[in-house]
Amino acid sequence: MESAPARLRGKPSWLISKTSLHAQRLIGEVLTPVDARGYHFAILAALEEFGPASQIALGQRCGIDRSDTHATVNELADQGLVERAPDQADRRRNIITLTSAGRRRLEELDSILAGVQEELLRPLSEAERTQLLELLRRVFDHVVRR
C-alpha cells in the first residue's frame, strides 16, 4: 500500500476502509476453522449483554440486515447456542435466548477475536490503542446519530 498515491493515504476514509478489509480478512481466517462467523459473535454478545430479544431487535442492535440475522439465528439454533420461543406478547414473533452452550461459545469466540485485535493493533502502544478506540467510537457515534 505504500505505492498508493499520497492523496489516498492522506484520506481517513481510505485508511479506515483498507484497515477494515484487513480486519475482516483476519477475522475470517480465525473463525472459519472453528465453524463460526463474525455475526455469530455479534448475536451471542448481544444476547449475553442485553438478554433475550426478538430477531428484529437483535439485528438492529448489531447492525445486521434482517435476512442475515434470520440466517445467523438459524445457524446458532442448529448448533444449540440459542433457543427460539414464541413471544408471549406477540405470537407472530420469536424471542431468542442464549443457552449455556452459547455462553461457552461466546467465551471461546471472544478469546479467538482477542488475538485478532492484538494482531491488528500490534504497531500501537496500549495508550495509543485506547486513544484509537475512543476516537473511533466518537466517529461511529456521530455517524449513527445522523
Q: Where are the domains of the chain?
A: 36-113
At 119, the pLDDT band (50, 70, 90 cuts) reads very high
Q: Would you state the pLDDT for residue 91?
A: 83
Helix (H) or strand (E) holding 70: helix 66-78
Using DSSP, state whether 123 is helix, strand or coil.
coil
Q: Would you state the pLDDT for residue 79?
A: 97
Q: Would you state the pLDDT for residue 1?
A: 62
What are the pLDDT digits (tens) for 64-107?
999 999 999 999 999 999 999 998 888 888 999 999 999 999 99
What are the pLDDT digits (tens) for 1-12?
678 999 999 999
What are the pLDDT digits (tens) for 37-48?
999 999 999 999
- What would the CATH number be for the domain defined by 36-113? 1.10.10.10
Asked if residues 13 and 24 have their Cβ atoms less than 8 Å apart, the reply is no
- The x, y and z cell numbers of residue 144, run together, are 449513527
d(CA 105, CA 41): 9
